[in-house]
Structure 1
Amino acid sequence: MIGFDDLKEFYKGRRVFVTGHTGFKGSWLTLLLEELGAEVYGYSLPAKEGELFSILYPKPPIYSFEGDVRNYEQLRSLMEWAHPEVVFHLAAQPIVRESYLFPRETYETNVMGTVNLLESIRHIPSVRSVLNVTTDKVYENNDMEHHAFTEEEKLDGFDPYSNSKSCSEILTHSYQKSFFNEEKEENGQRVLPRISTARAGNVIGGGDFAKDRIVPDAVRAVVQGQKIGVRNPYSVRPYQHVLEPLLVYLEIAARQTGFVKGLCKEKFSYEQGKRFEGYYNVGPSVEDAITTGELTDLFVKFWGEGAAWENLSEKNAPHEAGFLQLNTNKVRRTFQWEPRYTVKDAVKETVAWYKAWSEGKDMRKFSVEQIRHFFCESHR
């Protein structure tokens, strides 16, 4: 696995386009890319006051643009102007329960938004590497205990959110084979971009304020002096700190261009990068796939005084998978990757962020310090 300095060697000075950069994961990715010296162009719905992007960037960065991935003309026009080399697609409607309320909008954003992005890339010759970020919920899940999904298993998410992400996976690889395949080149006029997808487990970390996610719900409860209500305490999920998958995303996008640490840009082997193109599960070690109740126990432990939780299971709640675990052998083997944090470490870092936030600290500075700590030698 390459480290911070290796990533900086690749990303410094590169034009990187990020959809969904104002979201939780997108905000962390934007900050991380800036620390690596990249020139970041963000395209997303407006940042909401009080959410992570607004906390990290009280004044929006110069290349932060408001827009909807459903608007093809606007998206393509901006991408043509930015002429990026690397593209990360994170824009999505990401909440399962929201998808039951707004299924059409969920499919429009998660499916047609991906089509619009890939269709734009067809007309932008500067693009060399694309990563579509989906979810661990893309698989057909029959709640088999102790079964960890491999990348080759059937894609058929149950709810509209999960299913829309299954569709996003399928259409991404259709575009890759149909329009970005080397055999489709004509007269050697263009080096086509490499395209991969990443299926990440449930991420936690400082700055997530979304509805219907366990950590944000827990923070809101303890700050208001209330018990934490847990809807599905026995559901098993592959929880991981947000920086874990971001590190993998950055490496996939770099390596599929042919990047090898220690080589200057002029010596990248684009042909060698082809072998990194594909689809990857990104999740914690098997022993760190725990129940939501166990995760909440860790949150209560690290928060300390005033934190407690109660079981609020709902008999007639919309369906959500009871057991979900990923087999990550492929990404471990391909990139010599190992998680840097245990789930205990992840919760500890997450609670530390929210406590610092509640105390009014400089959260951009604190977040950068957490990035540096994540990359330090003790976690290699």
Structure 2
Amino acid sequence: MQSFWSGRNCLITGGAGFGGAHLCELLLGLGARVYILDRWLPANSYLVLSGMKARTTFIQGDIRDMDLLRLTLQRFEINTVFHLAAQPIVPISNVLPLETLSVNAQGTYNVLESVRTAQCVERLVFASSGAYYGATTTNQAIPETHPPLPAANIYAPSKVAGDVAVRAYAHIYGMKAAVCRFMNTFGPGDTNFSRIVPRAIKNLITNDTYDFGSRDDGSSQIDCLYISDMAKAYTHLAEKLDEVAGEAFNFGTGVPVSTKEVTSLTSRVFDDTERTPIFSGEKRAVPSIKYLDITKSRQQLGWQPTTSLPEGLQKTIAWYRAHWDEL
């Protein structure tokens, strides 16, 4: 049976990034023609190291360049847009708040306007974030109906702005557009070593102190989703846009795990050694807990995660070992 994606022209904004490159890999495997719009293409990106760049069309540019967006959509007759481009580094958002808002909020409006006025584009999927919900401590899975709460960074409200805008455009203009909300994703090719899994693997490969700094006390509970499951979430949602335009969907494992447990497990998977991770953050009386209710994605999209945390860590560690000298 022919794939839904066979011969379909897809644009991935931010496609040279970690999540974008894995989505690119999935779409190419499904027979799509993939176009990437990104500000840069690092030599150590998963897109380059996996050899996929030669199989795509790469357009260097910024989503805040409206003329470039419109020209790209029209020139390549783009059918489906996956909007992943963002300033995604949470600590940087507080240092560069205007840049973060400019890219994540204004940039998303630019993409929406370009898609709305382009006759060739049929559908759009937006990469939102679990940061949409703000800071939470309740030990309950968060449903899509949960309102945004106060956050400790500028990244969260910048993603709320894009999330709300996408859903509004769908309702006001009849666009086939919807929102993906993810939590902590991990897997091969993530070069942001401030994130918990890449940092753990870096410490292990370099035989460095198993230290995770002062940002956490080890008690925070997060939802770790393997990157290939994330990529499938995008395509599952895009395929169902005729039915679910204007909605938001959570994607995760639905199971919280503490940062201490994640790092301890990473150590065991790495070389069967039990290391004690060092977390020097101020001890919390109430742990930070955030994980997503994925019932809606299961029921309406037929999506569910298929890679367990140990299996995902095993695949991720193997990739870093094979490519460490190139990073």
Q: Match of 1:206, SS? A: coil
Q: Match of 2:312, SS? A: helix
Whether 1:278 and 2:247 are equivalent positions in the alignment is yes
Q: Aligned residue pairs: how many?
A: 320
Aligned partner of 2:311 among 339, 342, 345: 345
Whether 1:240 and 2:209 are equivalent positions in the alignment is no
Corresponding letter in the other structure for 1:326: L
Residue by residue over 1:158-184, the C-alpha shift from the partner in whole angstroms, topping out at 9 and shown as x without a partner, is 1111111111111111212222x2xxx
Residues in 2 aligned to 1:299 and 1:307: alpha-carbon distance in whole angstroms: 9
TM-align CA RMSD = 2.3
Match of 1:223 in 2: 205
Whether 1:151 and 2:144 are equivalent positions in the alignment is yes
User: Displacement of 1:353 after TM fit?
Assistant: 1.9
- Over 3 Å counting, the alpha-carbon distance change for 1:102 and 1:309 in structure 2 is farther
Aligned partner of 1:80 among 51, 74, 82: 74
User: Displacement of 1:17 after TM fit?
Assistant: 0.7
Tell me if the contact between 1:198 and 1:279 (Cα under 8 Å) persists in the aligned partners.
yes
- Over 3 Å counting, the alpha-carbon distance change for 1:104 and 1:211 in structure 2 is farther
Tell me if the contact between 1:130 and 1:195 (Cα under 8 Å) persists in the aligned partners.
yes
Determine what percentage of the aligned residue pairs are the same residue. 26
Match of 1:369 in 2: none
More displaced, 28-37 or 342-351?
342-351
TM-score for the superposition, normalised by structure 1:
0.79
Kindly report which structure 2 residues correspond to 1:225-374, keeping only aligned pairs within 5 A, or say none: 225-231=207-213, 232=216, 233-256=218-241, 273-275=242-244, 277-286=246-255, 289-304=256-271, 308=275, 310-315=277-282, 322-358=288-324
Tell me if the contact between 2:79 and 2:121 (Cα under 8 Å) persists in the aligned partners.
yes
Residues in 2 aligned to 1:309 and 1:52: alpha-carbon distance in whole angstroms: 30
- Over 3 Å counting, the alpha-carbon distance change for 1:157 and 1:350 in structure 2 is farther
Residue by residue over 1:250-292, the C-alpha shift from the partner in whole angstroms, topping out at 9 and shown as x without a partner, is 0110122xxxxxxxxxxxxxxxx23465110001033xx2011
Whether 1:196 and 2:163 are equivalent positions in the alignment is no
Kindly report which structure 2 residues correspond to 1:83-98, keeping only aligned pairs within 5 A, or say none: 83-98=77-92
Q: Match of 2:277, SS? A: strand
Q: Match of 2:304, SS? A: coil
Tell me if the contact between 2:201 and 2:266 (Cα under 8 Å) persists in the aligned partners.
no
TM-score for the superposition, normalised by structure 2:
0.91
Residue by residue over 1:164-222, the C-alpha shift from the partner in whole angstroms, topping out at 9 and shown as x without a partner, is 1111111111212222x2xxxxxxxxxxx411000012101011011410122122222
Whether 1:161 and 2:155 are equivalent positions in the alignment is yes
Residue by residue over 1:124-167, the C-alpha shift from the partner in whole angstroms, topping out at 9 and shown as x without a partner, is 111111100111110143422x1211111112461111111111
Tell me if the contact between 1:228 and 1:308 (Cα under 8 Å) persists in the aligned partners.
yes
- Over 3 Å counting, the alpha-carbon distance change for 1:236 and 1:203 in structure 2 is same
Tell me if the contact between 2:193 and 2:202 (Cα under 8 Å) persists in the aligned partners.
no
Corresponding letter in the other structure for 2:226: H
Residues in 2 aligned to 1:177 and 1:59: alpha-carbon distance in whole angstroms: 36
Tell me if the contact between 2:263 and 2:277 (Cα under 8 Å) persists in the aligned partners.
no
Match of 1:189 in 2: none
Tell me if the contact between 1:137 and 1:157 (Cα under 8 Å) persists in the aligned partners.
no
Unaligned runs of 5+ in 2: none
User: Displacement of 1:314 after TM fit?
Assistant: 3.3
Tell me if the contact between 1:43 and 1:65 (Cα under 8 Å) persists in the aligned partners.
yes
User: Displacement of 1:62 after TM fit?
Assistant: 5.0
Aligned partner of 2:60 among 53, 66, 71: 66
Residues in 1 aligned to 2:282 and 2:233: alpha-carbon distance in whole angstroms: 38
Corresponding letter in the other structure for 1:151: E
User: Displacement of 1:93 after TM fit?
Assistant: 0.9
Whether 1:34 and 2:1 are equivalent positions in the alignment is no
Residue by residue over 1:314-361, the C-alpha shift from the partner in whole angstroms, topping out at 9 and shown as x without a partner, is 349xxxx8211111111111123332122222222222222232488x
Residues in 1 aligned to 2:135 and 2:204: alpha-carbon distance in whole angstroms: 33
User: Displacement of 1:56 after TM fit?
Assistant: 2.0
Corresponding letter in the other structure for 2:297: V
